[in-house]
Amino acid sequence: MSNVDTVIQDLVIANRILAKEDVVDAYGHISIRHPDNPKHFFISRSLAPDLVERGDIVELGLDGQPVRDETRSLYLERFIHAAIYEARPDIHSVVHAHAEDILPFGVAQATPLKPVIHSGSFIGANVPVWDIADKFGDTNLLVVNMEQGRDLAKCLANNNVALMRGHGFASAGRSLIEVVRLSVYLPRNARALLRAKQLGGEIKYLSQGEIAARAAGYSPYSLETWRAWEYWANKAGCGHLLTKPEAAAHTHAHKK
Amino acid sequence: MSNVDTVIQDLVIANRILAKEDVVDAYGHISIRHPDNPKHFFISRSLAPDLVERGDIVELGLDGQPVRDETRSLYLERFIHAAIYEARPDIHSVVHAHAEDILPFGVAQATPLKPVIHSGSFIGANVPVWDIADKFGDTNLLVVNMEQGRDLAKCLANNNVALMRGHGFASAGRSLIEVVRLSVYLPRNARALLRAKQLGGEIKYLSQGEIAARAAGYSPYSLETWRAWEYWANKAGCGHLLTKPEAAAHTHAHKK
Amino acid sequence: MSNVDTVIQDLVIANRILAKEDVVDAYGHISIRHPDNPKHFFISRSLAPDLVERGDIVELGLDGQPVRDETRSLYLERFIHAAIYEARPDIHSVVHAHAEDILPFGVAQATPLKPVIHSGSFIGANVPVWDIADKFGDTNLLVVNMEQGRDLAKCLANNNVALMRGHGFASAGRSLIEVVRLSVYLPRNARALLRAKQLGGEIKYLSQGEIAARAAGYSPYSLETWRAWEYWANKAGCGHLLTKPEAAAHTHAHKK
Amino acid sequence: MSNVDTVIQDLVIANRILAKEDVVDAYGHISIRHPDNPKHFFISRSLAPDLVERGDIVELGLDGQPVRDETRSLYLERFIHAAIYEARPDIHSVVHAHAEDILPFGVAQATPLKPVIHSGSFIGANVPVWDIADKFGDTNLLVVNMEQGRDLAKCLANNNVALMRGHGFASAGRSLIEVVRLSVYLPRNARALLRAKQLGGEIKYLSQGEIAARAAGYSPYSLETWRAWEYWANKAGCGHLLTKPEAAAHTHAHKK
């Protein structure tokens, strides 16, 4: 397969994984930047992620509009993706979702969401909360144009995740696998923190140094990262679609 | 299919969706007003929603009694539906269920259930709690006649949902899809609010303006609404029963 | 099928239902009194309930010992059943299980488990907590002889459920369907109450009159009870084993 | 099958059980000491436990290195296993996992994890919390060499489980079945304790005498233990791989 074909196939897999892992339901979406043209990105047409197939993927520009004639409906909130790609050249994949267990952290103001477990480190030391009402007043809470998308991207700044008050989150990664992993473990970190609060007493969060050490050691095509991708794809019923990158196929020699 | 045939098929799908999404279990039911005769409505005979098929649907009048000879047993609480249709000409579909996560809000008196997430906006700004004991004293808590049904409908008034103390909820929508969607997201909103309380501090609820903006933008046959219906039907194993209305099939033209 | 054959088949169904509904896992068991001989009861040999088939059912006496030569191992805690049948002639079916969400109520001493939702009414107004240590000191917490079983039965007295501190519960019903239903809704009532406590404020429990009204109206072979039994059996994959009793097949005539 | 063949097959079953029971996900692993050579142990190559088959099992020494030439990648954290086998000759099987519901107890400092339910007794009276930062400062929290593994083993000392702050747990058992059972019920005990705290009031933990009585009565090949193993294996879809040991096949004779 060509690189673009592989990217689209991986995007299909990612859609199914996010559905199976309850990060998205009928709503929520994931995109990936075009590997050869940083001003374009791929995302599904308006469809529940669990039902997405190759033919559903469309190519959009950084204005959130399709780059070819398109008669099918598109996600209303595709501007979240467009605006983050515009603002962050380092980012290659974006998720927007409503994963249930992060929602309380967007509306309760006493407990900021911070990494408290090692798999949650990738959310980063700081998870800003974006409130659409601050700038746009009473809306339907959806991000439906570039101005709103850019305001969210500004709040996200150089972080990996922004919570969206009363709505969900937007996460940004350097690769598709990275943003999927981040989005799967984000609700787990939220649950662990919520329950730790219930147990009471002081909570030991990950230190800045630990967060940095984990980020430094992360490689999207390491064997360890691939292990989760392979597992999730199989669990979601699309293990047969996997294309193992060479980097992940690389093996260590243990000689006696 | 005739309009009535489609309505009945959609009602079968709705039964299965509510079962799959844990809104109902062996108990709970959904009805839809007859499209041509506002004084009649369709609902299953007494049967767990997950097992409902076309032949199980019966036609009742606004007195809660079957409009034709009927030898099969009917839901004891069908008067909930009859009374709401009687009181609310604007309503075309009703759900009564015991979804577990809304139950605490019917019995704990310190925290009213209000929209705290965007998908919960459809429950409306005010969710009254109806206590059958207030008027009827010690009962088995079931709504088994028109007098009780009317008292519940009076408490519901112009709202979309009424909690029933120690029992469940009744929800009312302008369409089948709307009431299903509302009933699926109602427990999610309840969980988000419960957990936000546990995190502590002030909670940012949806504003009146946001609730209004979302209600104004809602169309039961928009693509966005259909997306969820299609997803839930597939998840419940009855995607093959779907009949796409023309409105949802309508696509946007994105021209370059 | 003879009456005994039907009873054994229903007991198989009940085992599978309790497994599917997470009331039991590898451990926990259900028994039914012999329909023709009140001094005998049926229960599976030592086996996870989800795996129980007809040939696994054994017949025990009120001493907890098999009434025929038996080479297969039996449940260590069968004395719970024997002792309750001995003490309570009105009881025809017994469950012992460790359903997770009732466990906190057996060890936390500030919040007694009481009916707070209508489907929980069958646990009864009073749910005593039996602590094996009170009489037997440091044990492995298992009820492994008639003396311990009788002490538990004494604590249960005329109630429907006794919690067993740090261990689980024993429930007793006038029929198999009744005790299954009670055991399925017991953890749900526990969860509703736990969450109501978290919401804060005064909690409205079911009144004594409501509990009595629901108990009075209950019939194990009513259509409403059968509806749940049929649903759970289908969900557990053994709908094909169902034998509909005549009482449940009885239908209401709605004449126009 | 030879003893080693049986051990490897059981290890495959154990991997699948831990995945099905949500003790592990893509990450986490289980090992078993070589039955004939206490200086070797078996563990999967780097692979999600749910996908492990016989051919994936490798043989490592107490330095955590493979005893034969090996080109496949190994778990980074295999040193947890090596160090525990080195320190504890009595231990024959080790699990390391991130089971979600134990995580809060590793980071909240007010509520130690202790047995509160009988199936949780096997975690032992004392569950130490190991913080990798105490000795190693800011790391990625992974145990990637013998020095770190030994420090964890030292903290574990003669206990059955050590929590790892912000990361997960390591558990150690005298047999494969024992450590699987312990690891499945560890999160259940954690949940029961968390919820008991939420109910408020004094909590009745298992007494030292009860914990000791349960440990004394435990036999990895008793019928009662086998019952769970058989159940979990069937639930995980690998009941056909079971090899019933003679001890478990032994039956009691109940003569009249």
How far is it, in rounded angstroms, from Cα C166 to Cα C187? Answer: 15
Torsion on CA atoms A31, A32, A38, A40, rounded to nearest 10:
-40
How far is it, in rounded angstroms, from Cα D186 to Cα D102? Answer: 7
* Catalytic annotation present for B77: yes
For residue C162, the distance in angstroms to the closest alpha carbon of chain B comes to 22
The SS3 call for residue D254 is strand
DSSP code string of A135-159: HH-S--S---SHHHHHHHHHHHTTS
- Give contacts of C97 with chain D, Cβ < 8 Å: none
The yes-or-no verdict on residue A252 having pLDDT over 80 is no
* Mean pLDDT, range A161-182, rounded to an integer: 97
Return left, alpha or beta for A113; rule: phi > 0 is left, psi -120 to 50 is alpha, else beta.
Answer: beta
- Give contacts of C101 with chain D, Cβ < 8 Å: 195
DSSP code string of B80-145: HHHHHHHH-TT--EEEEE--GGGHHHHHBSS------SGGGGGG-S---EE-HHHHH-S--S---S
The SS3 call for residue C125 is coil
* Chain D residue whose CA is closest to C198: D198
The pLDDT assigned to A113 comes to: 98
Length of chain A: 256
- Give contacts of D109 with chain A, Cβ < 8 Å: 201-204
Which of B111, B138, B197 comes nearest C210 by C-beta? B138
Q: How far apart are the first and last CA of chain B?
A: 38
Q: For residue D203, which phi and psi values (nearest 5 degrees)?
A: -105, 135
Residue A36: other Cβ atoms inside 10 A: 10
For residue A242, the distance in angstroms to the closest alpha carbon of chain D comes to 14
Q: Measuring CA to CA, which residue among C174, C18, C126, C147 is closest to residue C80?
A: C147
Sheet holding A29-33, edge to edge: A57-61, A40-44, A29-33, A93-97, A168-173, A161-164, A129-130
Q: For residue C56, which phi and psi values (nearest 5 degrees)?
A: -85, -10
In tens, the pLDDT along D34-54 reads 999 999 999 999 999 999 999
Tokens of C177: 């369907």
Tokens of B56: 């199980």
Tokens of D33: 């000491």
Which of C192, C208, C254 comes nearest B104 by C-beta? C192
DSSP type of residue B255: -
- Give contacts of A208 with chain D, Cβ < 8 Å: 138
What stretches of chain C adopt beta strand conformation (E)? 29-33, 40-44, 57-61, 93-97, 129-130, 161-164, 168-173
Which of D202, D204, D230 comes nearest C165 by C-beta? D204
* Mean pLDDT, range A139-160, rounded to an integer: 98
Percentage with pLDDT > 70 across chain A? 95
In tens, the pLDDT along C104-159 reads 999 998 899 999 999 999 999 999 999 999 999 999 999 999 999 999 999 999 99
Residue D62 identity: L
- Give contacts of C192 with chain B, Cβ < 8 Å: 100, 103-104, 107
Give the ipTM of the model, two decimals please. Answer: 0.94
The pLDDT assigned to B2 comes to: 77
Strands C57-61 and C40-44: antiparallel
- Please list the active-site residues of D: 77
DSSP code string of C58-116: EEEETTSSBSS-B-S---TTHHHHHHHHHH-TT--EEEEE--GGGHHHHHBSSS-----
The set of residues, in sequence order, having a beta carbon less than 8 Å from that of B64 and lying 6+ positions away, is B78, B79, B81, B82, B83, B146, B149
* Mean pLDDT, range C218-247, rounded to an integer: 87
* Mean pLDDT, range A22-30, rounded to an integer: 98
β-pair partners for B173? B93
Residue of A53, A59, A77, A230 marked active site: A77
Q: Measuring CA to CA, which residue among A86, C46, B72 is closest to residue D226?
A: C46
Chains that touch D (3 or more CB pairs under 8 A): A, C
CB contact under 8 A, D196 and C108: yes
The SS3 call for residue D44 is strand
The pLDDT assigned to C250 comes to: 47
Which of B131, B138, B167 comes nearest C117 by C-beta? B167
The set of residues, in sequence order, having a beta carbon less than 8 Å from that of B134 and lying 6+ positions away, is none
Which of C72, C108, C137 comes nearest D199 by C-beta? C108
Burial A54-75 (b: 16+ CB within 10 A, else e): eebbbbbbbbbbbbeebebbbb
Strands D161-164 and D57-61: unpaired
In tens, the pLDDT along D214-236 reads 999 878 778 888 999 999 999 99
Nearest 5°: the CA angle B204, B209, B214 is 95
Distance, CA of D142 to chain centre: 17
Q: Measuring CA to CA, which residue among B52, B12, B78 is closest to residue C227?
A: B52
* Chain B residue whose CA is closest to A65: B254
Q: Measuring CA to CA, which residue among D203, D198, D169, D174 is closest to residue D184?
A: D169
The yes-or-no verdict on residue C245 having pLDDT over 70 is no
CB contact under 8 A, D207 and C138: yes
Report the range of poorest mean pLDDT among A94-98, B79-83, C197-201, D91-95. Answer: C197-201
β-pair partners for C41? C33, C60
Please identify every stretch of chain B with a pLDDT value under 50, giving residue numbers as ranges: 250
For residue C253, the distance in angstroms to the closest alpha carbon of chain D comes to 44
The pLDDT assigned to C155 comes to: 98
The pLDDT assigned to D250 comes to: 47
Sheet holding B168-173, edge to edge: B57-61, B40-44, B29-33, B93-97, B168-173, B161-164, B129-130
Q: How would residue A222 be classed by pLDDT, with cut points 50, 70 and 90? A: confident
The yes-or-no verdict on residue A1 having pLDDT over 70 is no
Residue of B77, B100, B147, B210 marked active site: B77
The pLDDT assigned to A250 comes to: 47
The pLDDT assigned to D2 comes to: 78
Report chain A's C-alpha Rg in angstroms: 18
How far is it, in rounded angstroms, from Cα A209 to Cα A121? Answer: 11
Tokens of D174: 């005298």
In tens, the pLDDT along A31-90 reads 999 999 999 999 999 999 999 999 999 999 999 999 999 999 999 999 999 999 999 999
Sheet holding D129-130, edge to edge: D57-61, D40-44, D29-33, D93-97, D168-173, D161-164, D129-130
Q: Is B53 exposed, middle or buried (0-12, 13-18, 19+ CB in 10 A)?
A: exposed
* Mean pLDDT, range A104-123, rounded to an integer: 96
Q: How would residue A127 be classed by pLDDT, with cut points 50, 70 and 90? A: very high
* Mean pLDDT, range C21-31, rounded to an integer: 98
Residue B195 identity: R
Stated pTM of the model: 0.95
Please identify every stretch of chain D with a pLDDT value under 70, giving residue numbers as ranges: 1, 245-256
How far is it, in rounded angstroms, from Cα A76 to Cα A60? Answer: 13
The pLDDT assigned to D140 comes to: 97
For residue C146, the distance in angstroms to the closest alpha carbon of chain D comes to 16
Burial C123-160 (b: 16+ CB within 10 A, else e): bbbebbbbbbbeeeebbbbbbbbbebbbbbbebbeeeb
Q: How many alpha carbons fall within 13 Å on the CB side of residue C48? A: 19
The SS3 call for residue D172 is strand
- Looking up tokens 């469809």 gives A47
The set of residues, in sequence order, having a beta carbon less than 8 Å from that of B246 and lying 6+ positions away, is none
CB contact under 8 A, A195 and D194: yes
Tokens of C90: 């009105």
Greater confidence (A247 vs B136) lies with B136
The average confidence (pLDDT) of chain A is: 94
The yes-or-no verdict on residue C255 having pLDDT over 80 is no
With contact defined as beta carbons under 8 Å apart, do C11 and D190 qualify? no
- Give contacts of B255 with chain A, Cβ < 8 Å: 69
